[in-house]
């Protein structure tokens, strides 16, 4: 997109892109109990970067991502694999969900588990895969 991007789009993207990224994280984390999850979160985050590519240019979007999208795919699949491998150390089958409960103040408690790590892996892999394609198209 070498044509001059509009000022309105550029200004809007400035505000919308970080919001989209935050929202994607929100979707990722809430996914276990409410609609959302790694897949939709990842798609939202990619949309944020797609808007950056529109409003600014490919170079800016790439710089803000910091790493090559394919590295994200690798990290995502690796993280998912690792989260599955952890239970194997304890002699349990591959991909068994393990949970720890961290007590917070009062009644509240935070439950963390390997499925969350797995979902983060999905999130990263989805971002990486969609952005790899998107950047490749944008470069054309």
21 binds another protein (CB under 8 A): no
48 binds another protein (CB under 8 A): no
Tell me which stretch binds another protein (CB under 8 A): 8-16, 59-67, 102-110, 115-123. Answer: 115-123
Binding positions for another protein, 58-87, rule CB under 8 A = 69-70, 73-74, 76-77, 80-81, 84
Report the nearest approach of another protein to the CB of residue 15 (Å): 18
137 binds another protein (CB under 8 A): yes
Q: Rounded CA gap, 78 and 86, in Å? A: 12
Report the nearest approach of another protein to the CB of residue 95 (Å): 5
Q: How far is CA 15 from CA 5, 10, 60, 84, 127, in A?
A: 16, 9, 15, 37, 20
Residue 103, both tokens: 């007590």
11, 22, 34, 85: residue in contact with another protein (rule CB under 8 A): 34
Q: Which of 70, 43, 44, 76 is nearest to 132 (CA)?
A: 70
Q: Rounded CA gap, 127 and 93, in Å? A: 28
């Amino acid at each position: 997109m070498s044509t001059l991007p509009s000022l309105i789009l550029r200004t809007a993207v400035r505000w919308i892109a970080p919001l989209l990224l935050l929202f994607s994280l929100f979707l990722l984390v809430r996914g276990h109990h409410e609609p959302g999850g790694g897949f939709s979160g990842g798609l939202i985050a990619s949309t944020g970067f797609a808007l950056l590519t529109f409003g600014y240019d490919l170079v800016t979007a790439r710089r803000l991502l910091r790493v090559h999208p394919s590295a994200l795919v690798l990290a995502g699949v690796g993280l998912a694999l690792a989260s599955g491998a952890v239970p194997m150390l304890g002699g349990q089958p591959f991909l068994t969900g393990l949970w720890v409960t961290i007590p917070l103040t009062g009644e509240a408690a935070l439950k963390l588990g390997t499925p969350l790590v797995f979902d983060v892996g999905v999130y990263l892999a989805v971002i990486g895969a969609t952005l790899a394609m998107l950047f490749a198209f944008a470069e054309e």
